[in-house]
Chains A and B, each alone.
Chain A
Amino acid sequence: MNYSAPVQFVAKNMRVDLRLIAGMIAPRSRVLDIGCGDGTLIDHLFKTKGCDARGIEIDMGEVTRAVTHGLPVMQGDADSDLANYPDGAFDYVVLSRTLQAVERPREVLRQMLRISTFAIVSFPNFGHWSLRLQLLLRGRMPMTRAWHRMWYETPNIHPCTIADFFALCEADGYRVVEWMAADEAGARAPWRKFAGLANFFGEQGLFLLRKV
């Protein structure tokens, strides 16, 4: 990713999304929100939970908006800038609907769990039934609310399914402390106990991880 052409992530429905994420975060903890946009989540965490919350955002316009509102946000890139932080600098690092757009998702996850005790990751689920059906019936790359850009221009270069993500956590030794599948609006879906169903019906996955 370069700075001259900032990546436009898939549209965030922050208000509901952040409620689910904020629910995983303990009061008065240290939080880093990667891809924080205009800083809605960190503002929420400071105001409602007294967290020391900060943000990184690649889009300078969003950064300026956030800082203008008094939020500690710096321009930076998930792929390259996490390496600058010391081990265990945070209690939680949040990567909301950004994992699929970074260049090296596995390395980003590794860095997250180096600099923080917990990692909170959400991503649009490529295993959702409507995507599977479109691919099966039309034989073309599927288009949905979450996946709405053509394959040749999408910033979401590393799509994965909820099942894929479980497999990566297993391979890299991350413990899934908590997880859920939600629909696109962010409402919690009822199949959180059954990963197979969640992978079929959940539009996005939300994970709370820590090192084993």
Chain B
Amino acid sequence: MASETVADHRRLTARADFGAGFAAIFGDTLDDGGALDQQSVQALVHRVDLGAELGKGLWRRGFWHGGLSIQLRVEAANRGDCVGAGCGAYPEPMDQGPQLAEATHQSVRFDDGLTLDCGRHLNILDVAYRTYGTLNAARSNAVLICHALTGDQYVAETHPLTGKPGWWNAVVGPGCPVDTDTRFVICANVLGGCMGSTGPKSPHDERPGEPWGVDFPAVTIADMVRAQKKLVDHLGIDRLFAVIGGSMGAMQVLAWASMYPEQVFAAVPVAGAAYHSAQNIAFHEIGRQAIAADPFFYSGRYWAEGVTPSRGLAVARMTAHITYVSEAALTRKFGRKLQDASDLLIGDRFEVESYLEYQGSSFVRRFDANSYLTITRAMDLFDLGADHGGSLAAAFYGTRTRFLLVSFSSDWLFPTAQSRAIAKALNHVAANVSFVEIASDKGHDAFLLDEPDFHLTLRGFLAGCAEHAGLA
């Protein structure tokens, strides 16, 4: 009884608070639908409810109340972000997990599955991937790009879900440092991901009709690499000219060079580390806790309820995003500027808050919460030295791979000291290693951004390697 009343009240509140905003921006959607369906209302109620609690005592005009989502949508629209027709009409993307699975991704299925480090065997392994450029007759010009935690295989093309440019457009493409005019570039969605490769959204091995969800086995960076190796073998490539990746991608590069040294001519771990530090694990745990604390998480079975823990996932993303940027970059970009106001007492909030909200909201529309849990855990588990009896050098004993290590001076998530430690370990085995720290105030994110020195370095290194590999 009571709950119904409350629900009705909330429903009304939701309609009142959000209706106007939706009508203004997504009029068609609402008009066509006639009214918000039950699930959408549930989601909206959830937000309003959460907002009221979180906002209590925090804000004179609690920004969580109503304005939040509308403002995000406005921002998204202003930025030309994926909204409305073509990318799944609002409000579904924010709150319906299953929508993510609808897009089809190029992939290859391995019916023999994959045995994981944890001992479990996946009966079926799908690896979703994209390629760019042409494989030469000698099959010697292949470059594998490894993506980071929240990246995917759409490295150098418009993303089918978000409509945004490829995440490494400045690095991979015709005439770019990784030149698709002369190289055959492969990028695969990682095992455990949500863009077509086997992951928590994939069908459960034993329970027909159900996705894995939180029951998806724990995977490791090495498992991800084994899945990629199957793809590379499938493409008929004996040796990769280069394996390149940043952040978690760098971990995969290191694992590749360690596990398949003869298959990797050149390895470029960018802004990486040989193990995930306690601080990094701590930040990941905050994100995981935020997801778990979302009432829509349903112990990971949110898919069964037809909802997603969007709020929790957004908070996880917001927290993580802070670790991707430097204080200097935040100050330069936002300082203490206010959003649409000159006085905080009458205005709303700081620009940096709005920015983080945007980061969170755009993320939940393309990422699965259980995937986030799976992949962050894989990163936390990574410790290449520990896997080799406590000696990182042992991971590379006898290697003939040519390494380029790149770090960024303001990166405090994967600081230069981590890359230097890898360089030292490589020196221990007399490996061929180049190591450059790029001066940048953009923090960890610098590896994704326009950093001319980094791009010149990468281009030069690959050109030098091509000379040694006998590639034109």
Q: How far is the CB of B263 from chain A (nearest CB, A)?
A: 20
Residues on A with C-beta less than 8 A from B437 are 60, 75
Contacts of A69 in B (CB 8 A): 460, 464
A67:B428 contact, CB within 8 angstroms: no
Residues in A whose Cβ lies below 8 Å from that of B402: 72
Contact residues in B for A70 (Cβ distance below 8 Å): 460-461, 463-465, 467
Contacts of B429 in A (CB 8 A): 86
- Which residue of the partner chain, among A60, A85, A89, A90, contacts B436 with CB atoms under 8 Å? A60
Residues from chain A with Cβ under 8 Å of B439 in the complex: 60
The 8 A CB mask of A42-61 against B (1 = contact, 0 = none) is 00000000001010000010
Q: Is B301 an interface residue (CB 8 A)?
A: no
Do A54 and B432 have beta carbons less than 8 Å apart?
yes
Q: A68-B456, A84-B424, A84-B428 are in contact. Are A74 and B461 (CB under 8 A)?
A: no
Does the CB pair A74–B453 fall under 8 Å?
Answer: no
Report whether B427 and A75 are in contact in the complex, using a CB–CB cutoff of 8 Å: no
Most buried by B among A74, A75, A85: A74
Would you call A25 an interface residue if the criterion is a C-beta within 8 Å of the partner chain's C-beta atoms?
A: no
Q: How many angstroms from the CA of A195 to the CA of B405 in the assembled complex?
A: 45
In this assembly, does A164 line the interface, its C-beta being within 8 Å of a C-beta of chain B?
no
B460, A73: Cβ atoms under 8 Å?
Answer: no
The answer for the CA separation of A73 and B456 in the assembled complex, in Å, is 15
Q: Could you say which of B427, B430, B436, B459 contacts A64, with CB atoms under 8 Å apart?
A: B436
Interface contact tally, CB-CB below 8 A: 65
Residues 181-205 of A at the B interface (beta carbon under 8 Å): none
- From residue 139 to 175 of chain A, which have CB atoms closer than 8 A to chain B? none
Let me know if A67 and B423 touch, CB within 8 A.
no
The answer to whether the Cβ of A71 comes within 8 Å of any Cβ in the partner chain is yes
Contacts of A54 in B (CB 8 A): 432-433
- How many whole Å from B8's CB to the nearest CB in chain A? 65
Min CB distance B466 to A, Å, is: 8
Q: Does B457 contact A (CB under 8 A)?
A: yes
Query: Does A63 lie at the interface of the complex (its beta carbon under 8 Å from any beta carbon of B)?
Result: yes
Distance to closest chain B CB from A187 (angstroms): 32
CA distance A86 to B457 in the complex (A): 27
- Interface contact B464-A74, CB-CB below 8 Å: no
B106 on the A face (CB < 8 A):
no
Q: Give, as a whole number of angstroms, the nearest-CB distance from B464 to chain A.
A: 2
- How many Å from the CB of A93 to the closest CB on chain B? 12
Given the interface pairs A84-B424, A84-B427, the reply to whether A71 lies near B432 with Cβ below 8 Å is no
B346 to chain A, nearest CB (A): 45
Contact A63 B428 (CB under 8 A): no
For B432, the closest partner residue in chain A by CB is A72
B window 396-419: CB within 8 A of A: 402, 404-405
For residue A81, CB closer than 8 A to chain B, the reply is yes
Q: How far is the CB of B471 from chain A (nearest CB, A)?
A: 12
B123 within 8 A of partner (CB): no
A73–B464 alpha-carbon span in the complex (Å): 12
Nearest CB in chain A: distance from B399 CB, A: 13
**C-alpha gap A54/B433 in the complex (Å):** 8
Contacts of A68 in B (CB 8 A): 456-457, 459-460
A-B contact pairs, 26 of them (CB 8 A): A54-B432, A60-B439, A63-B436, A64-B438, A64-B453, A64-B456, A67-B460, A67-B461, A68-B456, A68-B460, A70-B463, A70-B467, A72-B433, A72-B434, A73-B434, A74-B405, A74-B427, A74-B436, A75-B435, A75-B436, A75-B437, A76-B423, A81-B424, A84-B427, A84-B428, A86-B430
| A-B interface, 4 closest residue pairs, ranked by CB to CB distance from nearest | A70-B464, A74-B435, A89-B430, A68-B460
